[in-house]
Structure 1
Amino acid sequence: MSVDPLGRGHLTLARLRLLVTRRLDGLLQGEYVGLLPGPGAEAGESREYRPGDDVRRMDWHVTARTTIPHVRETIADRELETWLAVDRSASLEFGSAAMLKRDLAVAAAAAVVHLAARGGNRVGAVVGAGPADARVLPARSGRRAAQALTTAIARQPGVAGPGDLPGLIGRLARPPRRRGLAVVISDFLGSPSGWARPMRALATRHDVLAVEVSDPRERELPDVGVLTVVDPETGRWHEARTTAALRRRYAQDAAERADATAAALRLAGVGLLRLSTDRDWLRDIVAFVAARRHARARGAV
């Protein structure tokens, strides 16, 4: 399944919009469904601190007066501004299952735009492989603007050569934007040591969601004898014999990389949604949103 910007693929933009609007809305019920709670920026009442509260909302004036830790609650902002950073580096031009990772990133972006644009919210995007080639699509509200944004993201060409995810995340934060939701869509194949710092900086001002797109061949190798592989970012070719020992080491390294990514995002206070080219991406998004809704109902987020 491929998202073809020219409309010749199995999953065209028109069909993608139909899947998102009909199936996503059919699976998710509720008047205001968001990917993250969006605490809002308008100050509310102060209350005593409870374990699990966000320390960034500490009300130091009340705490100093009462000598008891207090946090300031915020009133939910129904006009939530959302910005997406969509990675278009060469590593996403790969896929061994239903679609390329690039196509999955476009599909994820379409779903995020659809969910974020509800209620007249403004949605914008930064699309590219790094700050040098990033295209900024201004935040606008309305159904037509959301469709135009999805089309622009899908038609943005990929970039040859190594990507710069830390720079792309930093580009999302500059210039400083209205407090809201930031969504970073990438395969996160680089070391977390590179992108963790700009991700933490982004999370100090915004609710941040990381959408990781992956392919099963990045998690395990098939037993096919001699396998020829190529690095899409450098163009370097390599042949490997897929022995049992190699497949074990490969799977172990992939699992460790996935754990390191999840740990870095958790430390930064960033939510993580994992999508794969061999799974039903819409159901994965629905499960994530439903889990968030349930957690909010329990007061966990």
Structure 2
Amino acid sequence: MKPPEEVLRRLELTVTRKLDGLLQGDHLGLLPGPGTEPAEARPYEPGDDVRRMDWNVTARTALPHVRDVVADRELEVWVLLDATASMDFGTGLMEKRALALAAVASVGFLTQRTGNRIGAHVLQSGAVRRLPARTGRAHLMALMRAVMTLPRDGASEPRMGFAMDQLRRTVLRRGLVVVVSDFLDPVETWETPLRHLGVRHQVLAVEVTDPRELTLPDVGVITLVDPETGRKQEVASGSARLRERYQAAAAEQRDRIGAAVRRAGAAHLALRTDRDWLRDLIQHILLQRRLARLAGGAG
């Protein structure tokens, strides 16, 4: 295994080089731009930016109004990383854990480049470890080394909903929360906590999956182990009917996850261990930029 420092350097070069053309301007599509906190509306004055027009107040008063924003250049970004046993699985190009760390690193490099603060809450063994939010490359590298050198998790009850609630109670300043998980806990245990996070913060849900979680190969009798609980079950994978049912159930599960994320009001970025995760990240950024431009034009 390569040393964490070498892995981090490679990740940093990969992310910054690939995203260099997208890093111009205030809005990255992944991180919100500065000055997004709305202030009071006031009458329009010559020279005001017409893009700040408050059309609701203008229509109500019959006089043109604009809405300023409170300048707040320093954004606070928090990552909630699922480091439970189900993330220690992978049959694609990498394990889900490695893909999750790549996502965290990408958020970190974007955050550090724009001078924002980043911290992390890490869920493992049923408990949450808190890494404080600070600025600077040295802090980011220390944070990434801490999460990259985490031990493998043993069997423990999934508690993503608990981790979301704890982050919401302890992080009071408005900012961006990035939840990185496979979201395999029952939807009803985390959907409401995720929605509550969105009351104060902008939320991005990064869903990490592996192809073997979506389809069952025909390899004879196999023993399936639930990494979260340690329970085992033998399955005859040669049954075409069983493989069809497995694929349908897996697709339904992912549909439920996506629907729950949307209902919670969070942005959704799906990454797979057998795909080019950086390409998927770039596509997400471009899509969010287009949506932001459309929303601005509609306002």
Shared fold (TM-score, shorter chain, > 0.5): yes
RMSD: 2.7
Shift of 1:129: 2.8
Are 1:126 and 1:134, in contact at CA under 8 Å, matched by a contact in 2? Answer: yes
**Structure 1 residues 150 and 248: alpha-carbon distance in aligned structure 2, compared to 1, 3 A threshold:** same
Alignment partners' CA distance in 2, 1:71 and 1:237: 62
Alignment partners' CA distance in 1, 2:292 and 2:259: 22
2:211 is equivalent to residue 216 of structure 1: yes
SS of 1:117 mapped into structure 2? helix
**Structure 1 residues 141 and 34: alpha-carbon distance in aligned structure 2, compared to 1, 3 A threshold:** farther
Q: Which residue of 1 aligns with 2:294?
A: 298
Q: Which residue of 1 aligns with 2:224?
A: 229
Are 1:228 and 1:239, in contact at CA under 8 Å, matched by a contact in 2? Answer: yes
**One of 89, 96, 104 as aligned partner of 1:94:** 89
Q: Which residue of 1 aligns with 2:268?
A: 272
**Structure 1 residues 138 and 8: alpha-carbon distance in aligned structure 2, compared to 1, 3 A threshold:** closer
Note the alpha carbon deviations across 1:247-274, whole angstroms, 9 max, x for none.
Answer: 1111111111111111111111100000
2:254 is equivalent to residue 258 of structure 1: yes
**One of 116, 138, 153 as aligned partner of 2:147:** 153
TM-score, normalisation: structure 1: 0.84
TM-score, normalisation: structure 2: 0.84
Are 2:29 and 2:286, in contact at CA under 8 Å, matched by a contact in 1? Answer: no
Alignment partners' CA distance in 1, 2:286 and 2:70: 22
**One of 243, 247, 269 as aligned partner of 2:243:** 247
Alignment partners' CA distance in 2, 1:267 and 1:72: 29
2:32 is equivalent to residue 37 of structure 1: yes
**One of 15, 18, 30 as aligned partner of 2:13:** 18
Note the alpha carbon deviations across 1:210-238, whole angstroms, 9 max, x for none.
Answer: 00001001111112222222111122222
**One of 95, 99, 107 as aligned partner of 1:104:** 99
Are 2:211 and 2:273, in contact at CA under 8 Å, matched by a contact in 1? Answer: yes
Question: Bigger radius of gyration, 1 or 2?
Answer: 2
Q: Which residue of 1 aligns with 2:120?
A: 125
Alignment partners' CA distance in 1, 2:66 and 2:158: 40
**One of 99, 109, 114 as aligned partner of 2:109:** 114
Q: Which residue of 2 aligns with 1:286?
A: 282
Are 1:37 and 1:296, in contact at CA under 8 Å, matched by a contact in 2? Answer: no
2:182 is equivalent to residue 194 of structure 1: no
**One of 128, 132, 154 as aligned partner of 1:134:** 128
How many corresponding residue pairs? 279
SS of 2:208 mapped into structure 1? strand
- Report the residue type matching 2:166 in the other structure: R
Shift of 1:159: 2.6
- Report the residue type matching 2:124 in the other structure: A
**Structure 1 residues 43 and 8: alpha-carbon distance in aligned structure 2, compared to 1, 3 A threshold:** closer
Structure 2: segments with no counterpart, 5+ residues: 43-53
- Report the residue type matching 1:255 in the other structure: A
Comparing 138-147 with 193-202, which one deviates more in the overlay? 138-147
**Structure 1 residues 123 and 31: alpha-carbon distance in aligned structure 2, compared to 1, 3 A threshold:** same
Comparing 158-167 with 262-271, which one deviates more in the overlay? 158-167
Q: Which residue of 2 aligns with 1:54?
A: none
Are 1:213 and 1:277, in contact at CA under 8 Å, matched by a contact in 2? Answer: yes
Shift of 1:34: 4.3
Alignment partners' CA distance in 1, 2:176 and 2:241: 43
- Report the residue type matching 1:180 in the other structure: G
Alignment partners' CA distance in 2, 1:37 and 1:144: 23
| Matched ranges for 1:45-84 at <5 A | 45=41, 47-49=54-56, 74-75=69-70, 77-84=72-79
Structure 1: segments with no counterpart, 5+ residues: 50-61
2:164 is equivalent to residue 169 of structure 1: yes
Shift of 1:42: 4.6
